[in-house]
Amino acid sequence: MGLGAIILPLAQGGDGFVRDPAEASTECVAKNDTVCIGWALENIDRYVTPTLEHLVLVVVSVLAGFAIAFAMALISHRRRWLIPAFTAGTGVLYTVPSIALFLLLLPITGRGTLTAIVALTLYTLQILYRNNVTGLANVPEATKDSGRGMGMTDRQLLWRVELPLAVPEIIAGLRIATVSTVAIATLAVFAGAGGLGAEIYNDLTFKTGIVVAGGIAVAMAILFDVVLVGLQSRLAGWRKAHEAGAGDAGRFAGALARLRGAHS
Amino acid sequence: MEGRSAVNSGGGEAVSVEFREATKRYPGAERPAVDGLSFDVPAGEICVIVGPSGCGKTTAMRMVNRMVEISDGDILVGGSSVRDRSPSELRREIGYVIQQIGLFPHRTIADNIATVPSLVGWDRERARERARELLELIGLDPEMGERYPAQLSGGQQQRVGVARALAANPGVMLMDEPFGAVDPINRERLQNEFLRLQAEIRKTILFVTHDVDEAIKMGDRIAVLREGGILAQYATPAELLMAPADAFVEDFVGADRALKRLALMRVSDIDLWEAPLAFVGQASSEIRAKLAGAEVPYALAVDSERRPLGWLSKVDLGQDTVPSRPDTDATPTLELDDVMRDALSDLLQAETRYAPVVDGEGRIAGVLSVEIISEFLTSDEALTDEHGAAERPLG
């Protein structure tokens, strides 16, 4: 059984072929050897619903994935023996090909958005869990020791010290997971969940359609990334001080400069 | 200063710490890490726990705030057992400073200092006020409270670490090699600053170090631990240097313990020599007569208030009267309160054998010479009680 035999039954239920006879009358579209900007501008309306569908798929999957991965990281934080099992488990999920996962989920969740969201959520776990754990593990021992030594309970230490310090790493994970989910969500069409993938796979031979849908996906990925970078600098503004903070070399150079100033 | 008085208010009276056969056994370890430790630290004193690495000194200190659980025996803080307390509540009442400082990089200096106050439920305004007060106390600009730890130098961070430990006015402070990661020059400064601070705040302090010189400098009492967490000697610094309990302590304190004693003495503790005094305007012939057979072979020019002006050279003495500006000035001039070791280093640095010593008013009190110090070092007096008989010859 070839790939087409799997994909085609899954993909049916879309809007049908893009180039209906009326539109195909445009010369550019008929030739289909370049991107037809005119066609794209005329047909931009047809991308609104797929874009919104795509947005929902990404946002819901990443949020659900983050909630699960965060809970897993907290559970394994004080039970470190769980970490290898959790890492392996999420890793195995990540290696299952997405089309196969959609098929496996069909009997349980049926065709539609839910299947796509479940699959996309499972895919985010590997990256999100790993980064959450790394972030928590990278909190310096001395920082935790001084927190505990001043009388913080485990819970206070976690929420006041460990998690805030893990934020850069946690957000780095969110950035990777979000961008990759934007990409993988184009396959959600095979689960019958629509999204930008519908516009791509409806007619794999139509160059303009692929470029416009793909372009929207890339723009969406960039937009998410910008938002997350903004969130990071809001939540971890101290890092700027940390990075710009005079390292020993910097201080030494500063002291030298002052000395020179004093002698000149 | 307003801040100063407030620092001492609000409870937090220093309390005693008593080790009662305190023992720590780790599962699977052959020997205890800390073995039957017993000694009392009176309220308001600095007790330094010192010993070679692996002697259990840090473990012993961490048993006080239950960062390490006690296996056997007990530790009493302010007369009551730490074993009856909830660890986190106990720790909030005991200041804690570690070598790596462990400031929270994501919190401002003021918020770092306010850590324990916020844990014990002070309102934000009071905690911030307290942070300002403590920044002043440790000699930092209160404006620095808005900065992040990474924006401070190592020495400043270490001071903030101490301020943070003091924030909720604990009766006891635990300090684990607090100046261990600081370069030698800054370490000396931080030590001196801390001793000045302690003179003001009078906390009970348990201070861990592997550096016996630091122990001698900082401690009111010193607990020397040997391997296996066994107390080798518990004594004042002077006792430790004068009468090491056994070969281990003697070896640990070092062969230069006579020299170390200089760090515990002041210039006023030693018999000074007298130099012939030459008042400005006095006839030089009188001075020349006085020089014959004097302890110090140079005449010291002084003004009418007996304040030293300088040493008279042959040329100076060739004049009719004592000049007001002698050829050689009176540097270094030492004070009676100077620490002997510093006085010796001043003499050596100036490459001079004699230095006038003045009292609080700047009037001449005598002359310190390299010979006086070397005689002291080679005498039995350096190693025994000043008035007692020699117990052990210098080997």
pLDDT of residue A243: 67
Angle between helices B154-166 and B184-201 (to 10 degrees): 20
Closest-CA residue in chain B for A144? B102
φ/ψ (deg, to 5) at A33: -115, 5
Helix, strand, coil % in chain B, rounded to nearest 5: 40, 20, 40
CB contact under 8 A, A146 and B101: yes
* Contacts with B93 from chain A: Cβ below 8 Å: 151
Q: Check whether B393 has a pLDDT greater than 70.
A: no
Measure A243 CA to nearest chain B CA, in Å. 8
- Domain spans, chain A: 47-252
List strands edge to edge, sheet with B80-81: B34-41, B17-24, B72-77, B80-81
Would the pTM count as exceeding 0.90? no
Say which residue, B238 or B259, is predicted with more confidence. B238
Determine the pLDDT at residue A8.
44
Mean pLDDT of B347-371: 90
Q: Which residues of B touch A242 (CB under 8 A)?
A: 105, 148, 150
In this predicted complex, what is the ipTM? 0.74
In angstroms, the CA A42 to CA A22 distance is 13
Which residues of B are less than 8 Å from A152 in CB distance?
88, 119
The CATH number that domain A47-252 falls under is: 1.10.3720.10
* Band of residue B114 on the pLDDT scale cut at 50, 70, 90: very high
pLDDT tier at B387, thresholds 50, 70, 90: very low
Residue B67 pLDDT more than 50?
A: yes
- Average of per-residue pLDDT across A236-251: 62
Interface of B with A (CB under 8 A): 65, 67, 87-93, 96, 98, 100-107, 115-116, 119, 147-151, 153, 161, 164-165, 174
List the single best residue of A136, A146, A154, A156 to mutate versus B (max B Cβ within 10 A): A146
Q: What is the 3-state secondary structure (H, E, C) of B318-363?
A: HCCECCCCCCEECCCCEECCCEHHHHHHHHHHHCCCEEEEECCCCC
Cα of A156 to nearest chain B Cα, Å: 9
**Which one of A150, A152, A153 would you mutate to disrupt binding with B, by most B Cβ within 10 Å of its Cβ?**
A150
Length of chain A in terms of residues written: 264
Condensed to tens digits (0 to 9), the pLDDT of residues B191-245 reads: 999 999 999 999 999 999 999 989 999 999 999 999 999 999 999 998 888 888 9
Question: Which chain A residues are Cβ-neighbours of B96 within 8 angstroms?
Answer: 146, 149-150
Query: Could you count the other beta carbons within 10 Å of the beta carbon of residue B29?
Result: 9
User: Is B91's CB within 8 Å of A236's CB?
Assistant: no
Contacts with A156 from chain B: Cβ below 8 Å: 119
pLDDT of residue A6: 44
